[in-house]
Amino acid sequence: MKVIAAIDSFKGSLTSMEAGNAATEGVLLAKPDAVVVVKPLADGGEGTTDALIEGMNGEKIEMTATGPLGKKVSCYYGWLPESRTAVIEMAAAAGITLISEDEKDPLAATTYGVGEMILDAVERGCRDFIIGIGGSATNDGGIGMLKALGFSFTDENGQDAGEGGQALAKVAHIRTEGVNPLLKDCHFRVACDVTNPLCGENGATYIYGPQKGVTDEIKTSLDQGMAHFAKVTSDAFGCDYADYPGAGAAGGLGFAFLAYLGAELTPGIDLILNAVGLEEELKDADVVITGEGRLDHQTAMGKAPVGVAALAHKYRAKVIAVAGSVTKDAAACNEAGIDAFFPIVRGVTTLEEAMDPENAKENLRQTVNQVFRLL
């Protein structure tokens, strides 16, 4: 029997690999001759870097970058030497969790630090990038990131347009001679699970701007600035990505990756499953174990365990899910391809006790053991 364990992290309790290894022990208690392969799992959002570092023999590269409001912040990205790939979460340098509610300022917030992280990886020898762009504090159309990479944006008087959303309406000229020449050899895969265009009522400013501090008073002017930036970009490069699905992601960062760096925007789970090579292992698998901290109806709407299930059924493998908690509406997961799911908590307990890593490992191990005794 061949078993694949691809379990998302139990946030605050177990990493993806810790959960997978605990499941492996449970399988082998019941089936000592089973072959178990553990793969890291994430959806392209928070935790993706850590999952791939741990699961793919990567390194954590710590550095200092420019934060969303210009102050230096400590951050890190993943470096996978075997494939010369960098795994970067834009939120590490430009995330909304880096600033307080009172500090939110979409006119000034910048993605400059994201560009600094990319450059650091390029200088390390990286040519392939996996980028997660969720959780941004910015609405700058990616102009900050692009400036860090060497692009120059000036106004009608030849002066630097500045940082943040306020800069977009000022851009009159784009210069590329300062761009790092190594970027032309780089391939960017961006985990993007939204389909919003750059501008308009369904665009970056109107839909996601309010959570970043965009008020009704500045909403229209910011959106018009974004449209202006797209027009100047189109005139300069002969491409028009303003209406491309996902261009509005992360305050327009999706647009910058598309128009300036030739990136691919891919649903997060598809990108990660491809990166970890799950499909190749599934071709002769009998059973797949997946799961996450909480299984509910949202899981069935395209989260990581359902992505695993869809790929597993392609090769007729049975799919079992485990979770710290299971809600009443989790039955939707069965309709989405998970054959059976099991909560791992084994008795009346406090949340703190249930989330204790050692307790969670033991509960997961014993639950999987019982399931495979039945199999």
Q: With 0-12 CB in 10 A as exposed, 13-18 as middle and 19+ as buried, what is 125? A: exposed
Mean pLDDT, residues 23-35: 97
- pTM of the prediction? 0.88
How much is the pLDDT for 104? Answer: 95
Mean pLDDT, residues 83-88: 94
Q: How confident is the model at residue 300 (pLDDT cuts 50, 70, 90)?
A: confident
Q: Which residues make up the CATH 3.90.1510.10 domain(s) of the chain?
A: 48-268
The CATH number given to 48-268 is 3.90.1510.10
Mean pLDDT, residues 60-83: 95
Question: How far from 104 is each of 69, 110, 138, CA to CA, in Å?
Answer: 9, 11, 9
Phi-psi region of 62 (alpha: psi -120 to 50; beta: other; left: phi over 0): beta
How much is the pLDDT for 309? Answer: 95
The upper half-sphere exposure of residue 148, i.e. CA atoms within 13 Å in the direction of its Cβ, equals 22
How much is the pLDDT for 46? Answer: 83
Q: How many residues are given for the chain?
A: 375
How much is the pLDDT for 148? Answer: 97
Alpha helices in the chain (DSSP H): 16-30, 48-55, 91-94, 112-124, 143-148, 216-237, 249-261, 268-275, 278-282, 304-314, 332-335, 351-355, 357-374
Percentage of the chain with pLDDT > 70?
Answer: 100
Q: Is the pLDDT of residue 45 over 90?
A: no
Q: Mean pLDDT in the chain? A: 94
Q: Is 48 helix (H, G, I), strand (E, B) or coil?
A: helix
Alpha carbon distance 226, 200 (integer Å): 9
Give DSSP secondary structure letters for 193-262: -----SSSTTSIIIIIGGGGT--HHHHHHHHHHHHHHHHHHHHHHS---TTSTTTTHHHHHHHHHHHHH-
Q: How confident is the model at residue 43 (pLDDT cuts 50, 70, 90)?
A: confident
Residue 169, phi then psi, degrees to nearest 5:
-70, -20
Mean pLDDT, residues 276-286: 95
Mean pLDDT, residues 13-23: 95
Mean pLDDT, residues 345-365: 92
How much is the pLDDT for 299? Answer: 85
Q: How confident is the model at residue 226 (pLDDT cuts 50, 70, 90)?
A: very high
Amino acid, res. 88: I
Q: How confident is the model at residue 12 (pLDDT cuts 50, 70, 90)?
A: confident
Contact (Cβ atoms closer than 8 angstroms) between residue 302 and residue 43: no
How much is the pLDDT for 82? Answer: 87
pLDDT in tens, 147-171: 999 999 999 999 999 999 999 999 9
Residue 181, phi then psi, degrees to nearest 5:
-65, -20
Q: Which residues make up the CATH 3.40.50.10350 domain(s) of the chain?
A: 2-41+277-374
Q: Is the pLDDT of residue 302 over 80?
A: no
- The CATH class for the domain spanning 2-41+277-374 reads alpha beta
Q: Is the pLDDT of residue 205 over 90?
A: yes
Q: Is the pLDDT of residue 183 over 90?
A: yes
Q: Which DSSP category does 121 fall into? A: H
Give me Rg for the CA atoms of the chain. 22
CA angle 350, 355, 361 (to 5 degrees): 125
pLDDT in tens, 234-279: 999 999 999 999 999 999 999 999 999 999 999 999 999 999 999 9
33-36, Cβ contacts within 8 angstroms, sequence gap of 24 or more: 33/1, 34/1, 34/2, 34/3, 34/372, 35/1, 35/2, 35/3, 36/2, 36/3, 36/4, 36/5
Mean pLDDT, residues 20-40: 97
Chain position carrying tokens 């359902």: 306
